[in-house]
Amino acid sequence: MEAFSMNSNTSWSQFWQQGFPTSFAKELPNSYKGAIEEFWRETAKSLDDNSRVLDIASGNGAIAIIIADEARKQEKQVDVHAADLASISPQKTNKNPKLTQILSEITFHPNVEIEQLPFKKNSFELISSQFGFEYSNIEKSITSISSSLKKGGHFKAICHFSESETHLKCKEDLEAYKFAEYQLHITTLVKSTLKEIGSITSIAELELKLNQKSALNKLKILIESTNKLLEKFPQSSPAEFISKSINYFFANSLVSGMDQKNHFAITFAKELICAMQRTEDQLKATLTKGSVQKIESLFMRNKLKKISSRPFLENENLIGWLFDFKKCDSN
């Protein structure tokens, strides 16, 4: 229940700067769908006109976008804010032209700690979080959230939970990253193979180089290692990412100078390490039944009444834990 480290914050900043709307870049490349989207749309429908909303640990604003969009459909004036500890700038990094207008209507706050929200007391009718609140120092965050909520306002969050399918997948993903980096030494193999191939100016020169035993052996080892990763983790997003990244560069960019090859090797290694760090963050942040009970007690100690605290399901599959707490009207 401690906040993640500055190294992790850098990893998340780098991730969000790529423009992904959610932390599930492969599974949800556009936004949340299904039960999660429906929950937040229903939440938006329940807001009164002229409400103020703050989405915390917002990333590039997936939930803020859903709430703002639904409020617009309901013809309600809702002032939507989104805050994240990472250096987010979704209006600049957005890759979906359809979101340009709605993003311009949301106020984003980068480099904001949930534990110290920089807003006046009693500012918001709703504070929301989707797979984010649990990454913070929860005790301090609840105090900050309670202070920022108006009396009668709600805090609603869907959090990672240890019995969910998402958690099981996350554990496998971390195993895949560690197997690739610490047993197969995949980033070192990429770097050494590209160094052995060297600067190449033509297809003919590349063919001559790959006929040399040393270059061919290194390439074979790299291919074998990638295949081992795919065989061991056939359904894993990390294995797919690693394999596709290597295959694409080696199929399309071997006719290049060392500057381009070094850039790929460095970028590939950096992305792999950052992705592994984010996966570790998620596992550390994941709530258990025990931590859920502690969180409920902390909410109530901070004058928030429990409306709901339960498993959150998608087609009968457990995907997280839902909190809905209301700030008491009286002192």
What pLDDT is attached to residue 22?
A: 52
* β pairing state of 107-109 and 78-83: parallel
Q: Which residues pair with 81 in a beta bridge?
A: 54, 107
User: Rounded CA gap, 164 and 320, in Å?
Assistant: 6
Q: Which of 286, 279, 261 is nearest to 180 (CA)?
A: 279
The pLDDT of residue 31: 65
> Cα–Cα distance between 199 and 274 in angstroms, integer?
28
Residue-by-residue pLDDT tens, the chain, 331 positions: 455 544 456 666 776 576 556 555 444 445 678 999 999 999 999 999 999 999 999 999 999 999 999 999 999 999 999 999 999 988 888 888 888 999 999 999 999 999 999 999 999 999 999 999 999 999 999 999 999 999 999 999 999 999 998 899 999 999 999 999 999 999 999 999 999 999 999 999 999 999 999 999 999 999 999 999 999 999 899 999 999 999 999 999 999 999 999 999 999 999 999 999 989 999 999 999 999 999 999 999 999 999 999 999 999 999 999 999 999 876 5
- In words, the CATH class of domain 6-162+286-327 is alpha beta
Q: Where do the structural domains in the chain lie, given as residue ranges?
A: 6-162+286-327, 166-283
Using only the alpha carbons of the chain, give its radius of gyration: 23
State the pLDDT at residue 29. 47
- Picking from 153, 115, 199, 79, the residue whose alpha carbon sits closest to that of residue 328 is 153
Alpha helix (H) residue ranges in the chain: 6-16, 34-45, 62-73, 90-93, 100-104, 138-148, 165-178, 186-197, 203-210, 213-232, 237-252, 258-285, 289-301
Beta-bridged to residue 83, according to DSSP, are 56, 109
CA distances to 7, 31, 160, 171, 184 from 228, in Å:
30, 32, 30, 19, 9
C-alpha span between 309 and 286 (Å, rounded): 15
Rounded distance between C-alpha atoms, residue 69 and residue 81, angstroms: 13
Q: What is the pLDDT of residue 12?
A: 64
**Could you tell me which of 24, 13, 2 has the C-alpha nearest to residue 111?**
13
